Structures are given as C-alpha cells and as structure tokens.
Amino acid sequence: FGSLAAKVQRNPSFSTLNSDDISYFKEILGEKGVIEDEEWLATANTDWMHKYKGSSKLLLQPRSTEEVSQILKYCNSRCLAVVPQGGNTGLVGGSVPVFDEVIVNMSLMNNIISFDKVSGILVCEGGCILENLITFLDNQGFIMPLDLGAKGSCQIGGNVSTNAGGLRLVRYGSLHGNVLGLEVVLADGNVIDMLGTLRKDNTGYDLKHLFIGSEGSLGIVTKVSILTPSKLFSVNVAFLACSDYFSCQKLLMEAKRKLGEILSAFEFLDSKSLDLVLNHLDGVRNPLPPTMHKFYILIETTGSDETYDRQKLEGFLLHAMEAGLISDGALAQDINQASSFWRIREGIPEALMKAGAVYKYDLSLPVEKMYDLVEEMRTRLGDSANVVGYGHLGDGNLHLNISTAQYDDGILTQIEPFVYEWTSKHRGSISAEHGLGLMKANEIFYTKPTATVSMMASIKKMLDPKGILNPYKVLPHS
C-alpha cells in the first residue's frame, strides 16, 4: 500500500474538516449519524484486503436520500472530499479514503421499498445487504440475478457502483441488463430520480448506465430498482476434475451446447487454488479422491423439472467422461453437498487472505489464452510467490492471484506492468468486474483509448466539477 499512496498527492484544493463541519453534520444527522470513534474509523479506513488504508477522521451515516443530499450539498460547498462506502468488500482500494476524505457509509439505508410479484421487480435502498435481499426474495419465490462470495457484507448500492458480475452472470447477464432504475445523489446534492420500474423505456439517453460501474465517482446510489428472476426449484451442482486447460475450454463449449438453458454457473479453479482452500479454511474438504488433477470445474444447473434436468446433466457428464474431458467428478446429492462444493469456489478469496499478502488481478481475456498468463507468471516469479488462477470461465473472466508472505515492491515490479501489457496485447480488460478504484486508475489506458478516457473525464467534470466524489479513483491522476 505504501508505494501506491506515495504515487498520489492529496489534492490541495480540498478543505480539511473543522469543528463547524462536525456541528453541521450533527444538526442534520443527529449525534448517532456522525461517527468519530477511532476504532470504528480504523475499520472503515481499511479495505477488505488490508492493503489500502486512509486516514479519515469522520464517518457519516445518512438514513435517507434527503440526508445524503444535505451531506453532499454541504461537502461540495465546503470542498470537502467524500468517499461513498457500502459493505467495504471492494478489491481495488475504491471504498476507503486515500487521505482524509469524509466517509459516507450507506448501511442505514437498508429498507426494501416494494416488490412486485407479477413482474419480479424489487425496489430497495442502496444500503441493503445482498444476502438480505436474497433471503427476502427467497421467501417470495424469487432470486437475485447476481450472487457473489461477499454477499454477507456487500450492499446492492456497492454492487451497482462496481457493476459486480459474480457467479450467475453466465445465466442472467450483467447489472446493466438487470437494473431497471436508480436514484442517485450528485456531488452538488441534486437528487436524480431515474428509479423507473419499466423493462422498456426509450425516452432519450439512459443515464442510469453512467452510474452502474462508476465506483462512487459520479454520484451516490440511494435507491435501486432491479429485475429478479423466479426461483426455480431444481438446482444441481457438479464438481469436476480436468487434466488440462484445453479440456476445461471444451467442457465449457459442450456445457453451453448440451445444457443450454439450464446452465447457471460455470466456474473454474486450478489445483493451487484448491490446495489453498483445503489448507486454510476449516471444514472444507475435497469431494474427489485425492488424486492430483490440474483443474477443477464447478457446474450449476437451474431449471424447473427435476427429472428432466437431472437426466440432462447426467447425460452431459457421461458424454464428457467418455470424450475424456473430465477425469473425475462428483454430483451433489443434496443441498448441503451442493453448498459444500460452492464453499470451495467461494472460499478462495478468504483462503488467499489467510495465506498472507495477495496481489489480485481481475482480467477479461479470450478464454483460450487465459491460462497462458497464469503459467507465464509462474515462470516469471519462480519460488518467490504462489500464483493461482480461478474465476468465471463461462464469462471469460480470470482471477489471477499472486500470494506472498508479505507485500514487497520487488515482486510488484515483476508483476506490473507485465500483467497489464499482456492483457492489453490480447485485447482483454484489466478490470473484468472489480473496477479500477485506486489500484488501477492510472492503468485505464491499457484497456480504454485516450479519446474514451477524455470523454469520461468530461462527464466527471460536468457532474462533479470540484471532483469531491471519490477522488484519486477510477480516472487517471497525474
């Protein structure tokens, strides 16, 4: 973290907090909404990976859109920088201050506003925790179109702001498709009501898309309207082993072709990822006999006809076995076993955290090239690091993670810019789903042309002329 912060200078045009500011915030939020407690602030200043650390002296907890509006209006007039914070599970240093930015924490805006059972449209506040929405919808016979390992802490406003992809994107598509409307508060406190609940609305520019994936740099998401699919009761999960990467790719092609509409997840991990999970997480075990396989695939199917779906999946697995695409496999026999298979895949980030320091790269790459990068990185780093590859193979999304005992600038210079150059050379994206945050703001040009970045900067300037919203993130800083 040290070297990253050293690259960024505090913008001298931002004011520093004074006692009048605190008094004003107490007036609008009450004592309880104004947090100066050191322990609380220490947590909110530190990101999930313990890699990025700010030094904010103030965390605000609004309870309504009106309060968010009042906060931003005031901060804008005083030129106080702000970092919007959801569940603080972001992985690119976007959710914590770089210096002394005021943290606007959305946790108390956690109400479900409405749910329409006929259309499946949920409207809720931005601070709702994803898992709570999943539970709420489950009781209504619906599911969220996104799911991810951080569901217990991350918030829908954070998900929207990072355009989180997750484990079901292969089936339900991205939030650009599923989010129907947003309410956002701009830097100057203006509330923009785009909270439509219509599937079709072609009246002019669809501005909500600007905020999906803007990582809190254009506005604070206070309300979300989202289309949710019906819950289908026949879910099957298989954990499979492949002896080489080519087989993983062929298996993906076959799964799309043979499982078709019931395929709901296609995740992959290499043997080093599995080892990490088995070594660092309690109660996780390998469902397959302990033979050494190079790759593992988790396939989930979701459909409405148990017999038909099971037959379809079993037929596919038999075919894959006969074609030599899978060398071993287990089909979950009940929901507990299915969860234990998922725990392996979802537990990888946690296991990496427990193993020490981790350099995380979240890349979109052509599927056939993806694993070459992992192997090249291994050759490059030798014994100095444990290089693991896993991710959402069905979406062409590799999580390349490099685990070391501690953060080390020497190792970092061997990884970067090599990893970005490699990705750019193969016309990939340096951020598939985590965003740019502080970590990759200056690397945007590896994926986006200069003219596109200039247009983004103009939009930022128009919506946030003083640049108070999440400064030093997303767009390049000099």
Binding segment (CB under 6 A) for ligand FAD, from list 11-19, 22-30, 161-169, 446-454? 161-169
389: which DSSP letter?
A: E
CA dist list (Å): 196 to 87, 109, 212, 264, 389: 25, 19, 15, 27, 39
Per CB under 6 A, contacts with ligand FAD among 44-63 are 48
Closest CA to 189 of 101, 70, 85: 70
* Window 113-152: contact mask with ligand FAD (x via CB under 6 A): -------------x---------------------xxx--
Cα distance between residue 289 and residue 343, in whole Å? 18
Residue 292 CB, shortest distance to ligand FAD, in Å, is: 27
* Window 305-344: contact mask with ligand FAD (x via CB under 6 A): ----------------------------------------
Contacts of 86 (CB under 8 A, 6+ apart): 95, 106, 107, 126, 127, 154, 155, 157, 158, 159, 161
Residue 178 CB, shortest distance to ligand FAD, in Å, is: 13
- Cα angle value 147/95/205 (rounded, 5°): 70
> Up-side HSE of residue 424: CA atoms within 13 Å toward CB?
13
CB nearer to ligand FAD: pick between 154 and 393: 154
Question: How many other C-beta atoms can be found within 10 angstroms of the C-beta atom of residue 458?
Answer: 10
Q: Is 65 in the site for ligand FAD (CB under 6 A)?
A: no
Per CB under 6 A, contacts with ligand FAD among 197-216 are 215-216
Q: Is 470 in the site for ligand FAD (CB under 6 A)?
A: yes
Per CB under 6 A, contacts with ligand FAD among 404-433 are 433
Q: Is 69 in the site for ligand FAD (CB under 6 A)?
A: no
Cα distance between residue 283 and residue 289, in whole Å? 16
Contacting ligand FAD (CB under 6 A), which of 69, 162, 301, 386?
A: 162
84 beta partners = 104
Cα distance between residue 356 and residue 352, in whole Å? 7
Directed axis angle between helix 367-381 and helix 418-425, to 10°? 160
Q: What is the CA radius of gyration of the chain?
A: 23
Contacting ligand FAD (CB under 6 A), which of 54, 97, 157, 428?
A: 157
CB nearer to ligand FAD: pick between 125 and 309: 125
Contacting ligand FAD (CB under 6 A), which of 54, 62, 166, 303?
A: 166
CB nearer to ligand FAD: pick between 326 and 365: 365
Contacting ligand FAD (CB under 6 A), which of 45, 76, 159, 236?
A: 159
Q: Is 391 in the site for ligand FAD (CB under 6 A)?
A: no
Cα distance between residue 88 and residue 93, in whole Å? 9
Residue 85 CB, shortest distance to ligand FAD, in Å, is: 5
CB nearer to ligand FAD: pick between 94 and 120: 94
Cα distance between residue 321 and residue 35, in whole Å? 58
CB nearer to ligand FAD: pick between 21 and 395: 395
Q: How many residues bind ligand FAD (CB under 6 A)?
A: 37
CB nearer to ligand FAD: pick between 108 and 381: 108
Q: Is 189 in the site for ligand FAD (CB under 6 A)?
A: no
196-202 long-range contacts (CB < 8 A, ≥24 apart) are 196/225, 197/116, 197/119, 197/121, 197/123, 197/225, 199/119, 199/227
Contacting ligand FAD (CB under 6 A), which of 33, 86, 394, 428?
A: 86
Contacts of 122 (CB under 8 A, 6+ apart): 112, 114, 115, 116, 133, 137, 142, 225, 226, 228
Residue 71 CB, shortest distance to ligand FAD, in Å, is: 12
Report residue 292 as tokens.
């050494």
Task: Mark out the alpha helices in 227-366 (DSSP H runs).
Answer: 245-259, 271-280, 306-322, 335-346, 348-355
Binding segment (CB under 6 A) for ligand FAD, from list 5-13, 158-166, 260-268, 279-287? 158-166
Q: Is 94 in the site for ligand FAD (CB under 6 A)?
A: yes
CB nearer to ligand FAD: pick between 447 and 470: 470
Residue 335 CB, shortest distance to ligand FAD, in Å, is: 21
Binding segment (CB under 6 A) for ligand FAD, from list 157-165, 308-316, 317-325, 450-458? 157-165
Directed axis angle between helix 306-322 and helix 245-259, to 10°? 150
Closest CA to 14 of 478, 472, 397, 343: 472
CB nearer to ligand FAD: pick between 189 and 327: 189
Cα distance between residue 232 and residue 235, in whole Å? 7
Q: Is 154 in the site for ligand FAD (CB under 6 A)?
A: yes
Element housing 46 (H / E): none
Widest pairwise Cα distance in the chain: 73
Residue 126 CB, shortest distance to ligand FAD, in Å, is: 4
Interaction site with ligand FAD (CB under 6 A): 48, 83-91, 94-95, 106, 126, 148-150, 154-155, 157-159, 161-162, 164-167, 215-216, 220-221, 349, 433-434, 437, 470
